[in-house]
């Protein structure tokens, strides 16, 4: 019993562990971005990207548990008591977080998809740690993951969804490499007045073509956006509404 309540770690070890775990976390995020832009991986890219996504989902809570464990064993009585108090106070948030990890495993929830929850129907604009935000005709609504898990939800496909569009962009310069142009195109899209800044454009490269998922402020801006993209040196077309 004395060993259990004895001091087994110190603050320096906690700091070193935190730095190491953060470095690994940022490395995984960096790899995820690199893989998403790597056209040379072809079909393997999606499997690798999905694997990193799954790893990040479990790594984040695991890293938190490791750091909390080290913190508790610096001063088991004091820190253990504080941990129990925090768990009791933040039980609802903790439950939402865990539910979110479970729901997001299959990547079915993502920004731009149309969803129906209870009597509300709208477009997912944000997928966060505690829940999702959906844009409806009445405004922006926040729905906790625990509510989604208990009440269920329906993803609606094959219908026109707000201002979300999937675009296919082909460089007019045949010698240009889409994977190299991707970063520059992202900067151009970020400065475009036609796009809603709440949703960051998503770019992927497949078969020497850049595929972009964007959210327009107004649907009538689509033709203006395509004209602007053509001025940038790309042949753009809408492949399907998301």
Do the domains 114-156 and 164-241 sit in the same CATH topology, yes or no? no
Contact in structure between 163 and 218 (CB atoms under 8 Å): yes
φ, ψ at 38 (rounded to 5°) = -85, 100
Which of 135-149, 172-186, 191-205 has maximum average pLDDT? 135-149
φ, ψ at 116 (rounded to 5°) = -125, 120
Domain boundaries, the chain: 11-89, 114-156, 164-241
DSSP state of 138: T
Contact in structure between 8 and 73 (CB atoms under 8 Å): yes
- Residues with Cβ within 8 Å of residue 48, at least 6 apart in sequence: 35, 41
Percent of the chain beyond pLDDT 90?
Answer: 11
Comparing C-alpha atoms, which of 107, 213, 195, 98 is closest to residue 155? 107
The 10s digit of each residue's pLDDT in 116-171 is: 888 888 878 788 888 888 877 777 888 898 888 888 888 876 444 456 788 888 88
Percent of the chain beyond pLDDT 70?
Answer: 84
Q: Taking the mean position of all CA atoms in its chain, how far away is CA 120?
A: 23
Tokens matching residue 25: 């976390």
Contact in structure between 40 and 112 (CB atoms under 8 Å): no
The domain defined by 114-156 carries CATH number 2.30.30: yes
The 10s digit of each residue's pLDDT in 42-56 is: 556 667 777 888 888
Q: Which residue has the higher pLDDT, 199 or 24?
A: 24
How confident is the model at residue 23, as a pLDDT? Answer: 95
Contact in structure between 128 and 142 (CB atoms under 8 Å): no
The whole-angstrom separation of Cα 122 and Cα 140 is: 9
Segments in the chain forming alpha helices (H): 11-37, 44-74, 76-89, 91-103, 145-151, 178-190, 222-231
Mean pLDDT of the chain: 80
Tokens matching residue 154: 């329906």
pLDDT class of 65 with cuts at 50, 70, 90: very high
How confident is the model at residue 66, as a pLDDT? Answer: 93
The whole-angstrom separation of Cα 152 and Cα 130 is: 16
Model pTM score: 0.59
User: Please, which contacts does 38-47 make with residues 24 or more away whose CB atoms are closer than 8 Å?
Assistant: 38/179, 38/205, 39/177, 39/178, 39/179, 39/205, 39/206, 39/208, 40/179
How much is the average pLDDT of 232-237?
A: 84
CATH of span 164-241: 3.30.70.100
Q: DSSP readout, 60-118?
A: HHHHHHHHHHHHHHHSHHHHHHHHHHHHHHTHHHHHHHHHHHHHGGG----TT-EEEET
């Amino acid at each position: 019993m004395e060993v259990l309540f004895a001091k087994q770690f110190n603050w320096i070890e906690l700091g070193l562990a935190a730095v190491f775990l953060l470095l690994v976390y940022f490395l995984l995020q960096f790899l995820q971005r690199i893989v998403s832009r790597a056209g040379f991986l072809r079909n393997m890219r999606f499997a690798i990207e999905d694997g990193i996504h799954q790893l990040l989902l479990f790594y984040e809570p695991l890293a938190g548990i490791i750091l909390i464990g080290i913190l508790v064993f610096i001063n088991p009585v004091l820190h253990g008591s504080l941990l129990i108090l925090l768990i009791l106070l933040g039980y609802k948030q903790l439950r939402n977080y865990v539910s979110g990890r479970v729901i997001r495993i299959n990547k079915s929830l993502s920004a731009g998809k149309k969803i129906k929850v209870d009597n509300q129907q709208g477009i997912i604009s944000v997928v966060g740690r505690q829940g999702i935000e959906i844009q409806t005709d009445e405004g922006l609504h926040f729905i906790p993951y625990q509510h989604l898990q208990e009440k269920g939800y329906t993803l609606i496909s094959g219908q026109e969804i707000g201002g979300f569009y999937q675009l296919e962009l082909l460089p007019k310069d045949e010698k240009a490499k889409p994977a190299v142009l991707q970063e520059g195109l992202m900067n151009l899209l970020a400065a475009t007045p036609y796009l809603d800044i709440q949703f960051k454009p998503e770019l992927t490269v497949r078969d020497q073509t850049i595929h972009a998922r964007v959210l327009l402020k107004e649907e009538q801006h689509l033709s203006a956006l395509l004209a602007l993209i053509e001025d940038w040196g790309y042949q753009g077309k809408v492949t399907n509404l998301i």
